[in-house]
Structure 1
Amino acid sequence: MDNRFILGITGASGVIYGVRLAEELLAREFEVHLIVSNPARVVLAEELGWDIEQEVVAACRQGIRGCFENGLFVYENHEIWAPPASGSFRVRGMIIAPCSMSTLAGIANGLSANLVQRAADVVLKERRPLIMVPRETPLSAIHLKNMLELARLGASIVPAMPGFYHKPQSIQDLVDFVVGKVLDLLEIDHDLFRRYEGGSSSGIKN
C-alpha cells in the first residue's frame, strides 16, 4: 500500500501536470495507477501531441517517461470494475491532475458514474488523502461551492497557480512548482523548485 498511488487525468487544460506528476512518482519507484478520461485523451492530443488513436495504455507508456517494469497501470474511465474502484485496493492516496469542473462536481456530490469518480469516492470513505488540481478560470460560485464541500470532506484543493518567487525561467519550471506542491502534501521529498527563504523588507511600507 505504501508505494501505490491512483492518478486521474481528466478533461481540463493542463494535462502536463498529471503527466509530470506520474513521471516524478515513477522515478521514485511508486506504483502509479493511472485513469484517463475520454475528454483527457482529446486534451492530451491537443496539448502534448499524443496519438489518441492508439490504445490508451500504449499511448501513456510512450508519452510518460521513466515507466519502470510493472510500475505504471493504466485504466480507461469506463472500467468501473478496475481495482481502484474497490475499498479493498489499498493505496497511499489519489491525485486528480488536472481536475475538470465536471469531475469536481461529480465527486463533491457523491456520484460514481465513472472510474475516476468511484475511485475518489472510495478514497474519501476510506479516509485516505485525495488531492485535486483544478484548472479553470474564472471560477463560478458553483465551482467554489464544490471545492469548499470537498475541502470540508478532507480533500486537498491545489489550484494550478504557480508561484514566481523562485524566478521560473521556463514553462517546465511553472509546471514543476505545482507538481512540487502536490508532492509536499504527499510528504515526498523533491527539489522541483527553490523554496522561499524570506526576503528583504527594506523599502516596504504598511
Structure 2
Amino acid sequence: MKRKMDFIFGMLFAAATVVFIVLFLTNDTFFNWAFERHHNTLSWYIRPLFIIPIVIFAFKKSFTGIFASIFALFTSMFWFPAPAEKNPQVLEFLAFEMDYLKGPWTAPKIVMSLSVPLFFFMLLTAAWKRNWKLLLGVIIGAAVLKFIWSVAFSGEAGMSILKPASLGLIVCIGVLGYFLRKIKRS
C-alpha cells in the first residue's frame, strides 16, 4: 500500500477509535450493551493479544495496520455474546470499572486515564525504533501496572484479571520473541 494511502486509512481507523470511545462514554445504552458482552471473559483473553499486531505493524511502519489493530483492541470488548452464567468476581470487577468510567472526572482520574495513550505512544515508539528492550519493558510494565491498578482500586475482584493478563503477557512475549529472532536471522 502506498505511504499516502496507508496514512489516510490509518487516520480513518484512528478517528473511528476516537468516535467509538466517545460513543462508549456518552451513550448509556451502548455502554451497557457493550459491558454486558464484556462480562464474557473471552474478550479479556484476546485483548492483550492485539499488542502483537500493533507491534508488528509499527515495526513495518504501517499506519493502517497499527490503527486497525488498536480499533480492534478497543472494540473486542463486545465481540462475544453475553455469558449465560456470570462469575461473581467478574461482576464485581466490571461494576467497579463501570463506576470508574461513568464517575466524575477528577484530576487523579484524568492522570490515570492518560496512561492509556502514554502506553500506546511508548509501545509504538519502541517498536517503530526497534528498541526491543524498551518494548519488552513497556509490555511487561503495562501488564503489571494494570494488575496493580485493578487490585488496588477494586480489591479482591481485581484478581479476576490475573489469569487473562498473565497469559496474554506470556503469549505476547513469546510471539514477539519469535518475531525478533526471525528478523535477526534474515
Give the TM-score, by structure 1 length. Answer: 0.25
Structure number having the greater helix percentage: 2
Give the TM-score, by structure 2 length. Answer: 0.27
